[in-house]
Structure 1
Amino acid sequence: MSKVIIVTDSTADIPPSLAKHFDITVVPLKVHFGDETYHDGVDLDSDGFYKKLSESDVMPTTSQPTPHQFEEVYRKLHDEHPEAAILSIHLSANLSGTYQSAHIASQNVAEEIDVTVIDSKKASYAIGVIVVEVAELASGGSDKEACLERVEELLDETTVLFMVDTMEYLEKNGRIGKASALIGSLLKIKPILSLNDDGEVYPFEKARGNKKAVQRIIDEFKKRFGEDPVHVGISHANAEAEANALMERLKTEFHVEKDVVTNIGPVIGTHVGPGTLSLSFARVK
């Protein structure tokens, strides 16, 4: 048994097969369509979400797990593995209250269970890269200190750049100003977005059209990672063909040691909308 158990949340957009392989516990956030509530990845998957989004007159909203839900997860894992430490790695605290819920839960069980809660300051598979890399270490028998050291490295160097098909969802969910969304749509500008050191969405650059935006992202990753071996994740919102084609291109231009193409799930999809492509890179040790 591993000395360390990894917990994350559904916004990490880790493929279920990968989560199962590394024994990663995923706590779901919720998506609300009016009075209907769904658990991200549990009773509403990506395909069902984007279909519902296209048919619904209601803009969905999202909510984080409660501290009680996290506490139940921590207690269950502790009952199953009483000697293990738990590392709980979550969506940027500046984008969601998920980290805060997990932190409160960890304080509630602190006298009984060794739980360390970490703000990834990332979203989607940019969290997933960190979680999967650390879960692989843990599955190999690395202790808590070694896993935390690797987390710190990955928090510093994991880079995400993403493109949205429309700025409508970012604007409606309060992630970007109405004027910026309108101007971008009128000029057919493709914004390249990222997350800053505080885990907030910011405009990295603007390009005219998809082709130029993709090339700019590739150029930026070449500058940052060069020929180093990398773990690359592409998460997509109902754009699987584009994501797969882009991954094949990346494999010819980078030293890709690990590659994951995954769906942007319902919660992140609520905020970025269909057609989004997100690229996450980290060095492999």
Structure 2
Amino acid sequence: MGKIRIVVDSTCDIPLPVREELGIEMVPLKVLFGEETYLDYVTIGSEQFYEKLAASSALPTTSQPSPSEFQAVYERVLQEDPGASIISIHLSGAVSGTYQSAVIGKSMLEEEADITVYDSKSASYGAGMRAVAAARLAAAGRSKEEIIAEIERLERETQLYFLVDSLEYLHKGGRIGRASALIGSLLNIKPILSLDKEGAVYSVDKQRGTKKAIQRIIEMLDQSFGSDPVAITIAWTQGNAIAMDLCEQVKSKFNVQSVDFTTIGAVIGTHVGPGTSAVFMYRV
């Protein structure tokens, strides 16, 4: 059985030390501030991005990798490990063309190349945790079929919620009107976002104030997991005080077996804004 390699895009928000440890290859998306173009997690990190975002009067835009960029990474991986199988895991196709670029990139290689391109139907560490799990199983010598089965299990078993601090960036991104954003800000409304089964972003709920929003997230997670053993990842954009509060409340309520942390990078951060916290939970 040949080696199995994992490829992701930068929106998976996998910390660099984890990617390096597990040999996960990353194809970056682009972030554009006017005429300036940056490669997510390559030429711009999370901290630098949120500093630029705060100083910018206009919302940056984002751009998916081209098929040729995926082709180049696949070719390099196969040169490093001839005969390897590749599992390529990506941001939901419902919110980005990244998955489709990866599919086209695969088609540009010889037919005998063994590449499975997987639409995570998720975002940020919702996709990242599947890639990390896959890479760990690959390192343990598990088969491609076993790894894909675990990826599919995690798709079924994972719940994720983004607690958005401000409606400003949802307004800038065209998701809500200016009046709704203004009224929501005056009332201290905190939206809770998630992704549906098809991978599209939707508003789950909104609460007045952070405390009530966290309480609502706990209630929704309880409906899904109860006392089952779970693993969690806590993520944040800029400033982790709310994320740490969320983490402690989740740990006190649930049968948490492991906790990981990560930051939400420039691409996802463009759409949710600074001050966003997230929890990703799955059964173990």
Normalising by structure 1, what TM-score?
Answer: 0.94
Q: Residue type of the partner of 1:266?
A: A
Superposed, 1:154-173 pairs within 5 Å as 154-173=154-173
Deviation at 1:179, TM superposition (A): 5.2
In structure 2, how many angstroms separate the alpha carbons of the residues matched to 1:73 and 1:112? 16
| 1:111 and 2:111 correspond | yes
Equivalent position of 1:193 in the other structure: 193
Larger deviation: 231-240 or 169-178? Answer: 169-178
Equivalent position of 1:132 in the other structure: 132
SS at match of 1:230: strand
Tell me: CA distance 1:145–1:177, structure 2 relative to 1, closer, same or farther (3 Å).
farther
Larger deviation: 66-75 or 105-114? Answer: 105-114
Equivalent position of 1:254 in the other structure: 254
Larger deviation: 129-138 or 274-283? Answer: 129-138
Q: Residue type of the partner of 1:29?
A: L
Equivalent position of 2:61 in the other structure: 61
Tell me: CA distance 1:254–1:95, structure 2 relative to 1, closer, same or farther (3 Å).
same
Equivalent residues of 1:126, 1:280 under 8 A apart = yes
Equivalent residues of 1:188, 1:209 under 8 A apart = yes
CA RMSD of aligned residues (A): 1.7
Equivalent residues of 2:2, 2:83 under 8 A apart = no
Equivalent residues of 2:162, 2:277 under 8 A apart = yes
Equivalent position of 2:34 in the other structure: 34
Superposed, 1:1-285 pairs within 5 Å as 3-178=3-178, 180-284=180-284
Equivalent residues of 1:3, 1:143 under 8 A apart = no
Instruction: Render the CA deviation track for 1:179-206: whole Å, top value 9, x for unaligned.
Output: 5434422432211111111111111112
Deviation at 1:157, TM superposition (A): 2.0
Q: Residue type of the partner of 1:138?
A: A
Equivalent residues of 1:163, 1:191 under 8 A apart = yes
Deviation at 1:99, TM superposition (A): 0.5
Tell me: CA distance 1:239–1:139, structure 2 relative to 1, closer, same or farther (3 Å).
same
Normalising by structure 2, what TM-score?
Answer: 0.94
SS at match of 1:233: strand
Give the gaps of 5 or more residues in structure 1: none
Equivalent residues of 2:59, 2:173 under 8 A apart = no
Tell me: CA distance 1:175–1:109, structure 2 relative to 1, closer, same or farther (3 Å).
farther
Equivalent residues of 1:247, 1:261 under 8 A apart = no
Q: Residue type of the partner of 2:132?
A: V
Tell me: CA distance 1:2–1:22, structure 2 relative to 1, closer, same or farther (3 Å).
farther
Alignment length (residue pairs) = 284
Instruction: Render the CA deviation track for 1:19-58: whole Å, top value 9, x for unaligned.
Output: 1222111111110000000000111101101111111233
Deviation at 1:177, TM superposition (A): 4.8
In structure 2, how many angstroms separate the alpha carbons of the residues matched to 1:235 and 1:278? 5
In structure 1, how many angstroms separate the alpha carbons of the residues matched to 2:95 and 2:28? 15
Instruction: Render the CA deviation track for 1:105-140: whole Å, top value 9, x for unaligned.
Output: 111115131111111111111111211122211111
Equivalent residues of 1:3, 1:144 under 8 A apart = no
Equivalent residues of 2:170, 2:271 under 8 A apart = yes
Deviation at 1:18, TM superposition (A): 1.4
Q: Residue type of the partner of 1:15?
A: P
In structure 1, how many angstroms separate the alpha carbons of the residues matched to 2:241 and 2:158? 25
Instruction: Render the CA deviation track for 1:50-101: whole Å, top value 9, x for unaligned.
Output: 1111112332110011000000000000111122210101001111111010
In percent, how many aligned pairs have the same letter?
Answer: 52
Tell me: CA distance 1:57–1:178, structure 2 relative to 1, closer, same or farther (3 Å).
closer
SS at match of 2:258: strand
